[in-house]
Amino acid sequence: MEHIAALLLVIGCSNSMTDCRELQVPVSIFETADQCTAERPFAMGDVQGQAQRIVARCLAVDPALEDDYDQVVWKVRPDGSLEASLAISGLVMASNAVRPEKDYLSQE
């Protein structure tokens, strides 16, 4: 079993940040958070032109739970900030959000 430490989430949005979707990048799973952070600008460059605005975030992954995560939950705010977390059966397990929001968009 491969143990991952970070997941790269890349979101493309309209200029107004109201219409957003996940963008696929060549590599989205990394062994360390540092590797994910280092790759983030290159991944954003790979999807340049697929959306008017692109935001990305590295999410920490608990290696003990990596096979249990079944959702990436995210929301892009009007100011362009990306809140995202990994969830197991609807329970948030890791998050970078400042506070929980009820209106997260769920993308699988």
From 43-47, 91-95, 99-103, the region with the lowest mean pLDDT? 99-103
Q: What proportion of the chain, given as a percentage, has pLDDT over 70? A: 78
Angstrom distance (rounded) from CA 65 to CA 4: 10
Domain extents in the chain: 6-107
- Pairing mode of beta strands 6-13, 29-30: antiparallel
Cβ–Cβ contacts within 10 Å for residue 75, how many? 17
pTM for this prediction: 0.74
Q: In the Cβ-directed half-sphere of 6, how many Cα atoms lie within 13 Å? A: 19
Higher pLDDT: 3 or 21? It is 21
Q: Are 104 and 74 in contact (CB under 8 A)?
A: yes
